Amino acid sequence: MYTQSFSVPDEGRPAATAIASVEPPDKMARFDACIDADGRIEPQDWMPEAYRKTLVRQISQHAHSEIVGMLPEGNWISRAPSLKRKAILIAKVQDEAGHGLYLYSAAETLGTSRAQMLEALHSGRAKYSSIFNYPTLSWADVGVIGWLVDGAAIMNQVPLCRCSYGPYARAMVRVCKEESFHQRQGYEALLVMMRGTEAQRAMVQDAVNRWWWKCLAMFGPPDSDSPHSAQGMRWGIKRVSNDELRQKFVDATVPQAQVLGVTLPDPELRWNEARGHHDFGAIDWDEFWATVNGHGPCNQERLATRVQAHRNGQWVRDAALAHARKQQQRSMKEAA
């Protein structure tokens, strides 16, 4: 997971500011030529400071989103309805941890340390996807997160496999393969529930009602309100605009909802023959920004759980460092 809200500035709602270039023109020209030729920028290559900063912000927000994203679903591991569902959910939550690790590693190649990034997350300075600041009230939420949240993540992340920064693009290839499994397991869990009792069907519908609009907001603010998007597109970091991705997601999801037998909670949702796309209603952006800025229902709980998990893992980090030191001393002794 997850998505465009990664490129939300850490300070909150964006202001329209231009990025001034103070870079050496010859190096800048080589960099631009590489981007124009759809080439890859690698860690050892020269890059403008603003490109580096944008990537650090986006990749670290993405990494934070992966590991905070473990929390809402992790809550359901002990309450999964069967051994099979528990095994699937454990595998999915572990995958999200792995995604976080690939992404922190990719961000480290840009000269930031993992400790710095985690400190920014734990102190509340760094953002993560706002979708994880909502509660998971029933087992159906776990299915809906797989279907819609991971589904939205795939829509957003597939174009990132072609991102101009090599380590990020390569990490995304594997992440996307795993997200595809996440989406399918969620959809399949919901299909089983929809074939069950009336109460199970109502539970699925209720979960869809609560998550639908939040998933549409995952693609980030409208293009008209995204001053950083144009620069991201120019640099080949972002390949498809927020509004285009959101439209693709709606168009792909409507037939899936029909097969499932649920109603998407939008009275304005309908096929527009002239556009060749579905029209849909207005997103509540004030609610989105309030959540991004720390006022969602679970922001405090998620951050507190994350900080506690990091503290609980201190002994593992200490032990790993002690082991590495021992190995290093042994190999130095053998070499001497």
Contacts with Fe ion, residue ranges (CB under 5 A): 1, 66, 96, 99, 150, 179, 182
Q: Which is nearer to Fe ion, 56 or 160 (CB)?
A: 160
Task: Tell me the closest approach of the beta carbon of residue 66 to Fe ion, in angstroms.
Answer: 5
Task: Tell me the closest approach of the beta carbon of residue 36 to Fe ion, in angstroms.
Answer: 31
Q: Which is nearer to Fe ion, 1 or 106 (CB)?
A: 1
Task: Tell me the closest approach of the beta carbon of residue 227 to Fe ion, in angstroms.
Answer: 27
Q: Which is nearer to Fe ion, 146 or 232 (CB)?
A: 146
Q: Which is nearer to Fe ion, 96 or 141 (CB)?
A: 96
Q: At what angle do helices 166-194 and 150-157 cross, to 10 degrees?
A: 150
- What b/e sequence results for 36-73 when a residue is b if at least 16 CB atoms lie within 10 Å of its CB, and e otherwise? eeeebbeeeeebbeebeebbbbbbbbbbbbbbbbbbbb
Residue whose token pair is 């589904």: 151
Task: Tell me the closest approach of the beta carbon of residue 333 to Fe ion, in angstroms.
Answer: 42
Task: Tell me the closest approach of the beta carbon of residue 189 to Fe ion, in angstroms.
Answer: 14
Q: Which is nearer to Fe ion, 141 or 150 (CB)?
A: 150
3-class DSSP string for the chain:
CCCHHHHCCCCCCCCCCCCCCCCCHHHHHHHHHHHHCCCCECCCCCCCHHHHHHHHHHHHHHHHHHHHCHHHHHCCHHHCCCHHHHHHHHHHHHHHHHHHHHHHHHHHCCCCCHHHHHHHHHCCCCCCCHHHHCCCCCHHHHHHHHHHHHHHHHHHHHHHHHCCEHHHHHHHHHHHHHHHHHHHHHHHHHHHHHCCCHHHHHHHHHHHHHHHHHHHHCCCCCHHHCCCHHHHHHCCCCCCCHHHHHHHHHHHHHHHHHHHCCCCCCCCCEEECCCCEEECCCCCHHHHHHHHHHHCCCHHHHHHHHHHHHHHCHHHHHHHHHHHHHHHHHHHHHHC
Q: Which is nearer to Fe ion, 1 or 203 (CB)?
A: 1
Q: Which is nearer to Fe ion, 142 or 250 (CB)?
A: 142
Task: Tell me the closest approach of the beta carbon of residue 69 to Fe ion, in angstroms.
Answer: 6
Task: Tell me the closest approach of the beta carbon of residue 103 to Fe ion, in angstroms.
Answer: 9
Task: Tell me the closest approach of the beta carbon of residue 145 to Fe ion, in angstroms.
Answer: 8
Q: Which is nearer to Fe ion, 47 or 172 (CB)?
A: 172
